[in-house]
């Protein structure tokens, strides 16, 4: 067995405001052969996700902070190249938390073997079938508590999480309004995902007015991915006893100075609104139920997935940065293998 060279992306300084390529460095390391209980894995796809921005802060509260001058990490799917553990063998496909590197050595019990339902769609395990898909499912069912016939508003609606929220809510009999940053994304939601109305927040003018117009009977659930003026609009148009599943607030992630919040928070009291911040990693207990619904939905064409694929670990930082300028259409992944 020969040694391998791995390419890793390290965080070398903490961004203030929008990250730049100077915050990251590509580092090559030599990997030894795996020994007792270890496996050598070649990552085929890695995920870049907005939440990773929070991990670049020293005082990260959502998920543990990335250490400086170390490889970052996150969701990836790879193939076992060499195994020194009986539970895995070369060729096995494994989900792992070791993104931001193209190869790595790990204890076999820190990765999860998957039997792909379609070997051509491995990257789905980082999106619709992975963390973002489960996030959508948990947010809607556990915190949105949407009921048939209700109206659901989704921000970042064509994103990795948002597009699943839209489609699941439609499958469950809701009226769905999505906010997006381009007409092409909006058209895809309307044509392919069956969303009832879309708002292009970059061109609609006042989002509250656009939402009120798209939801003349008000909204009952808001799936929050953006914050700021989207949250303000949702509060404005929300019906009494509305629920907000707060998954993220990407509008604020790169603020060097914090921006003020909505000026209508008193509506939380007035309308008896519930807001739940949540993180998907608390809800692994819902994964089996999620997969049992989602895999058939994908196979039957009821849930569609868009992906934006960057090629090669050298472009992983660009892929990540693109999340904040809306370059991704659907799930952003980096193809490594």
- Does 312 engage in binding with its own copies (CB under 8 A)? no
The secondary structure of residue 128, as a DSSP letter, is: T
Which residue, 88 or 221, has its beta carbon nearer to its own copies? Answer: 221
Helix 162-171, helix 131-138: angle, nearest 10: 50
- Whose tokens are 């490889």? That residue is 71
- Output phi, psi for 80, to 5 deg: -70, 125
d(CA 183, CA 202): 10
From residue 194 to residue 233, what is the string marking binding to its own copies with x (rule CB under 8 A)? ------------------------------x--x---x--
> CA–CA separation, 283 vs 286, rounded Å?
6
As measured in angstroms, the least distance from the Cβ of 329 to its own copies is 24
Q: Is residue 261 involved in binding its own copies (CB under 8 A)?
A: yes
Of residues 280-299, those binding its own copies (CB under 8 A): 282
Applying CB under 8 A, the span of 69-77, 172-180, 253-261, 288-296 interacting with its own copies comes to 253-261
Cβ-based neighbour number of residue 13 at 10 Å: 14
What binding mask, one character per residue, do residues 46-65 give for its own copies by CB under 8 A, x or -?
Answer: --------x------xx---
Q: Interior CA angle at 196 toward 200 and 264, to 5°?
A: 55
In the complex with its own copies, the residue whose CB is nearer, 126 or 273, is: 273
| Residue 172 makes contact with its own copies by CB under 8 A | no
Contact 298, 124 (CB under 8 A): yes
Decide if residue 25 touches its own copies (CB under 8 A): no
Q: Does 256 bind its own copies (CB under 8 A)?
A: no
- Our finding on whether 277 is near its own copies (CB under 8 A) is yes
Cα–Cα distances (Å) from 56 to 160, 280, 281, 326, in that order, read 21, 19, 18, 20
Which stretches of the chain bind its own copies, using CB under 8 A? 54, 61-62, 224, 227, 231, 240, 246-249, 252-253, 258-279, 282
């Amino acid at each position: 067995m020969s040694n391998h060279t791995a390419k890793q992306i390290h965080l070398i300084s903490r961004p203030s405001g929008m990250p730049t390529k100077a915050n990251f460095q590509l580092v090559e390391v030599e990997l030894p052969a795996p020994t007792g209980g270890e496996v050598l894995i070649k990552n085929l796809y890695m995920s870049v996700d907005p939440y990773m921005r929070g991990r670049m802060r020293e005082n990260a509260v959502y998920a543990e902070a990335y250490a400086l001058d170390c490889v970052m990490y996150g969701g990836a799917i790879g193939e076992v190249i060499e195994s020194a553990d009986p539970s895995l063998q070369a060729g096995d496909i494994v989900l792992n938390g070791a993104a931001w590197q193209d190869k790595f050595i790990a204890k076999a019990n820190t990765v999860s073997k998957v039997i792909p339902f379609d070997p051509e769609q491995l990257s789905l395990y980082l999106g619709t079938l992975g963390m973002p898909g489960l996030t959508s499912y948990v947010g809607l069912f556990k915190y949105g508590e949407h009921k048939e016939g209700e109206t659901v508003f989704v921000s970042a609606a064509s994103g990795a999480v948002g597009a699943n929220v839209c489609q699941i809510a439609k499958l469950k009999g809701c009226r769905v309004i999505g906010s997006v940053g381009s007409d092409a994304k909006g058209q895809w939601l309307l044509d392919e995902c069956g969303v009832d109305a879309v708002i292009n927040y970059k061109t609609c003018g006042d989002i509250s007015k656009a939402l009120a117009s798209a939801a003349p009977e008000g909204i009952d659930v808001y799936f929050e991915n953006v914050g700021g003026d989207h949250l303000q609009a949702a509060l404005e148009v929300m019906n009494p006893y509305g629920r907000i599943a707060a998954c993220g607030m990407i509008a604020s992630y790169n603020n060097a100075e914090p921006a003020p919040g909505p000026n209508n928070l008193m509506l939380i009291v007035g309308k008896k609104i519930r807001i739940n911040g949540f993180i998907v990693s608390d809800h692994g207990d819902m994964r089996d139920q999620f997969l049992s619904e989602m895999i058939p939905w994908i196979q039957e064409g009821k849930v569609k997935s868009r992906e934006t694929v960057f090629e090669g670990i050298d472009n992983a930082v660009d892929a990540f940065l693109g999340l904040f300028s809306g370059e991704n259409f659907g799930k952003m992944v980096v193809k490594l293998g």
